[in-house]
Amino acid sequence: MTQLIIDQALVDKARGSAQNIARQVKQAVDGMTTVTIERASLRLLGIDGVDAQGAPMVNIVVEHLLAQDLLGQGAVTPVVAAMERRGMTAQEVASAVACGALVLTKPDGNREAIKNKALQLAGEACRKISANRRQREEMIQRLGKGSAPQLYLIVATGNIYEDIKQATAAAHQGADIIAVIRTTGQSLLDYVPYGATTEGFGGTYATQENFRLMRRALDAAGEAVGRYIYLTNYCSGLCMPEIAVMGALERLDMMLNDSMYGIIFRDINMRRTFLDQFFSRRVNAYAGIIINTGEDNYLTTADAYEQAHTVLASQLINEQFALMSGLKAERIGLGHAFEINPDSEDGFLWEIAHAQLIRQVFPQAPLKYMPPTKYMTGNIFKGQVQNTLFNAASVMTGQTIHLLGMMTEAIHTPLLQDRYLALENARYVFHTMRHLADEIEFKPTGRIQARANEVLAQTVQMLAEIEQIGLMEAIRRKMFAEISRQPDGGKGVAGVINKNDDYYNPFPDLMQGGASDDTATNSN
């Protein structure tokens, strides 16, 4: 495939700055935990379900520990101590707390014995996740998978059973990856709904039962079409770690799991988001899940030409957070988007420059390439042309995860026939242009080459500035997406808890090694 001439020393300099930025953030939040990290840990211990009023059991236990001023030592040890003292399961402890029959206390026995028991229980949970990972790898080995760019298609009816019908139809029509869009506003709920749901708005609630139902349906569809169908959901918002755990337990394959999207676009507290993304990515790494990041969203509020360097800068920071969490490069699906103003002269050239630069800076990453949305007007004929150019840019620059563009974007939630036309368009372009990139070269003194180098230089400069002022201050100054957020503000700030000296959670260390990457989606 043809390559741009880029200065590797500049790439290395930018990556070094990004690494320092990520380290600064981790150092700033290392002494803290969050309520949802603790709830996620209790889910891994086996606590599930809701009480008679519909409140999730993990929320009840964590709120109880907060009231007892015990959460600073972590939720795991008080629960395990009660299990040992009373001969209960974790679920039974939660039920007793919920009905007022049990008050959790600080462990007063042999703390080392309690830690050993917690480690044993955590190991059992990790073995379940490892079994899911092996099952995925075995199925991909047996069935195979779609070739890159893999076709990523969204379902979003609000009803999981209708989603299953559309997802199954899409798999039969050629989709390789199904993403179940989450209902509007779920990212701001500080709890995870329970059970199968049928009344989401603009999407379907992310619940463990919905994950299980869709996974089962896509496995059946994969067997029928003779290739593994990947399942994606949204591991973001106030319950990011819990959704990561649910996905790991139900064998999801990809998760939208960004480090800054919730801060910038949902005004979630910075420290909470940085803590939650680290834990959730540790879980995703161990489960062999590919993460997708949200830099494509920056271009919905900022100009895609003027702010192209902010996308690359954020990708480099996101990459470092992911590596620190144990994810391998082959599991880091960095996001970018085809959002150039169609009225821009040579806009397609600038898009090729941006997409090719990102492909070369992250050669191992399974990049997630998003279709035009900002400049879709409701003119379906122009929209189909815009999506065709997007498809061409994707295959020409070796993208990996290709989210299908819909000609009815900005009109309504896509119908089955809209999705069929999007699949047909992409398949045609990918087939007829399959080896075009092997047959062309970028002119060394041309516009594409010059534009790529300009974006790289701007990225280096931006990251050097952030390295000096810190990422939280950079976000406050609107350096990403032209949106300002305050370091000490935002939703969920009360859920950030200082760790005590005796804090203990066995899961991050157990999951440190991440997963085997033999069957990552990337095929570049």
The phi and psi torsions of 375 (rounded to 5 degrees) equal: -110, 20
What residues does 52 pair with on adjacent strands? none
User: What is the distance between the alpha carbons of residues 408 and 418, in angstroms, rounded to a whole number?
Assistant: 7
- Per residue in 143-200, pLDDT tens? 999 988 999 999 999 999 999 999 999 999 999 999 999 999 999 999 999 999 999 9
- Residue 119 tokens, joined: 């480690």
Question: Which is higher by pLDDT, 361 or 513?
Answer: 361
Give the N- to C-terminal CA distance of the chain in Å, as an integer.
Answer: 10
pLDDT band (50, 70, 90) for residue 414? confident
Instruction: State the Cα angle at 397 between 392 and 398, rounded to 5°.
Output: 105
- Residue 252 tokens, joined: 């999801």
User: What is the distance between the alpha carbons of residues 287 and 126, in angstroms, rounded to a whole number?
Assistant: 9
pLDDT value at residue 514: 63
Q: How far is residue 43 from each of residues 194, 248, 288, 374, measured CA to CA in Å?
A: 13, 11, 19, 39
- Per residue in 488-498, pLDDT tens? 999 999 999 99
pLDDT band (50, 70, 90) for residue 416? confident
Domains of the chain by start residue, with CATH: 32-122 (1.10.8.1000), 144-438 (3.20.20.440)
pLDDT value at residue 110: 81
Residue 111 above 90 pLDDT? no
Q: Could you list the active site residues?
A: 261, 296, 368
pLDDT value at residue 512: 86
User: What is the distance between the alpha carbons of residues 129 and 253, in angstroms, rounded to a whole number?
Assistant: 12
Q: What is the mean pLDDT of the chain?
A: 94
- Per residue in 330-350, pLDDT tens? 999 999 999 999 999 999 999
Residue 524 above 80 pLDDT? no
pLDDT band (50, 70, 90) for residue 515? low
3-state secondary structure of 199: coil
What's this model's pTM, rounded to 2 decimal places? Answer: 0.93
**Which residue in 313, 247, 312 sits closest to 285, CA to CA?**
247
- Residue 340 tokens, joined: 């150039």
- Per residue in 348-375, pLDDT tens? 999 999 999 999 999 999 999 999 999 9
Note the helical H segments in 288-341: 298-301, 308-324
